[in-house]
Amino acid sequence: MVERLLHWFEKHGRDLPWRHKRDPYAILVSEVMLQQTQAARVAPRYVAWLERWPTVEALAYASLGDVLREWQGLGYNRRAVNLHRAAREVVANGWPDDLTALPGVGRYTADAVACFAFGQDVLPQDVNVRRVLERTDASFDHTCGQALMDLGATICLARVPRCCECPLAEECPSRGQRFEPLRKQGRFEGSFRQRRGAALRALLDGVDPGDDEAVAALARDGLLPSLPG
């Protein structure tokens, strides 16, 4: 199955800008951006981000206000705050052995940086990888990480997998099955999350957002310091 998977990946793998990087900072940026945003939206923003802050030192010395402005449109601004804090910690202390010690870095993100930047023998398991592993009941090593991600994102879909196009279908015990939809996230339109985003944009533009509740929530999440920078 590994051989089939990697052969498929050679022909059908997505050409994403972070896959041409080995710098741990560049990998960390991509993984944080991808946490809750689709790859197609992330790609151009990722390129622009690295053009502006090409090194971890450059990001560490940037102001939080500039970081949040650059992040606008990607959503979940707390990710930008954590990425900024992580950059400062790396510049101050170096890359930790346990990457989960960095702000906003969970098990998957730590494994992705360890695998794709440092070449460690660990398989990062995002939702797409876990789906393929669960459905195939097969074992794959760290060399299959990117291939499993692409297979889960484009073929082994959450509800109606494209088994007829899957290189692993012949030996897959889940072949031909359909699956219940996962719980969907609440609507963004009219949500408090939307109000928070609008309030942050107003503050970044130097305008009173007129929403004390949203501003208080931003303050609790550490999104207000150094905004004028």
* Size of the chain, expressed as the number of residues it contains: 229
Which CATH superfamily hosts domain 22-116?
Hypothetical protein; domain 2 (1.10.340.30)
- Cα gap 120→133, rounded to integer Å: 20
- Whether the domain at 1-13+122-182 and the domain at 22-116 fall into the same CATH topology: no
Whether the pLDDT of residue 92 is over 80: the answer is: yes
33 pLDDT tier (thresholds 50, 70, 90): very high
- Sign of torsion over alpha carbons 25, 26, 32, 35: negative
181 pLDDT tier (thresholds 50, 70, 90): low
- Cα gap 156→49, rounded to integer Å: 31
- Cα gap 25→113, rounded to integer Å: 8
Q: Where along the chain do its domains lie?
A: 1-13+122-182, 22-116, 189-224
- Sign of torsion over alpha carbons 110, 116, 121, 125: positive
Classify 226 in phi/psi space as left (phi over 0), alpha (psi -120 to 50) or beta.
left
In the residue annotation, 31 being an active-site residue is answered as: yes
For residue 82, the surrounding DSSP H or E stretch is helix 78-93
Q: What is the dihedral of CA 66, 72, 78, 83, to 10 degrees?
A: -50
Candidates 3, 10, 31, 170; catalytic one: 31
Whether the pLDDT of residue 44 is over 80: the answer is: yes
- Cα gap 165→152, rounded to integer Å: 12
For residue 28, the surrounding DSSP H or E stretch is helix 24-34
Question: What angle, rounded to 10 degrees, do the helices at 145-154 and 127-136 form?
Answer: 90
> According to the model, what pLDDT value does residue 199 have?
77
Whether the pLDDT of residue 196 is over 90: the answer is: no
Does domain 1-13+122-182 sit in CATH 1.10.760.10?
no
Whether the pLDDT of residue 9 is over 80: the answer is: yes
pTM: 0.81
